[in-house]
Amino acid sequence: MVETIEVAAPDGTAEAYLAGSGPGVLLHMDAIGLRPRIAAMVEEIASWGYTVLAPNVFYRDGTATELAPTADLRVAENQAAFLRGAMARVARLTPDRAERDAAAWVAALTEHATEGPIGTTGYCMGARLALRTAGWHADRVAAVAGFHGGRLVTEEPDSPHLAIATSRASYVLLHADRDRSLTRRHVAVLEAALAEAGRPPRQRDRPGRPARLHDERHLVVGRGRRAAGVPRAARAAGPRAALTAHPQRTAQRASSR
C-alpha cells in the first residue's frame, strides 16, 4: 500500500509517496507531478521487493493537489496550457536546487529502506534527475534506470550525462525513438559516456514511439496520436532490468571500484 509522508527538504516540506520494504529505490516523477499514475509505479516497483520513495520535486511551487491537472490532458488545448506551467516549474528546478534536494530524498529513503546501496529511476524529466542523483551520491546509488528520458545530453557544462563519469552505478536506459529532446546523436553520446566510464551500454529504443506524457487518467498522451496505454512490460522494463542485480551483485561491483 502506498502512503504519503512528509520529507524535510532544503526550502520547505515536501510530500512523498512511500511503499514497500527492502532495499531502497528513489523514483523521480515526471513534469506532470505526483498523482495516481506515479503511485501505481511506486506500488509496482515495491512489489518486486523494494522500498520506494517518490518525492514531490516541485514542492517549492505547491502541493501535488495544487499542481495537478484539472482538465483532460487528451485535449490538445488543455495539454498545452498545463505544459506551459509545468515547463516553468521544470526550469525553476535548477541543478543546484535539485542537488540540494537529492540529499534530502536520499536521507528520507535511507530512513525507511534496509541498509545498503539504493537504486534510482525516473520517467522523462525524472530520468534526468536519476542520472544526476547517481553522480551526486555515487557512494549510495548502485543502479540507475531511465524511461523515455529527455534532455539527458545537452551542450551545457552540467549536462546530465556527465554525471555518469563520477557515478558508480549500473545503467539501463529505455528511449523513445522519435524524441527531439533525445536524438540518435544524443544516444551515441550516452553510449560513449557509459563505455568511457566502464559501464556496458545498456540502452534500448522503443521502435515507433514518440515521447509521451502520462496524464492523470493513467493514459499516455502522444504527440499528434491517439491516447494509448503503455504495455506494463515495457513500462517496467527499464527499472526492473537495472534493479534485478541490486543490491547484491550491483553492490559488490560498486564497492570493488
CATH number at residue 224: 3.40.50.1820
Those residues with Cβ within 8 angstroms of residue 196's Cβ, 6 or more apart along the chain or in another chain: 165
pLDDT in tens, 147-195: 888 899 999 999 999 999 999 998 988 877 677 888 888 888 999 999 9
pLDDT of residue 244: 53
Question: What is the domain extent for residue 224?
Answer: 3-256
On the question of pLDDT at 67 being above 50, the answer is yes
Those residues with Cβ within 8 angstroms of residue 216's Cβ, 6 or more apart along the chain or in another chain: 32, 35, 36, 37, 68, 69, 73
Work out how many domains the chain is built from and give that number: 1
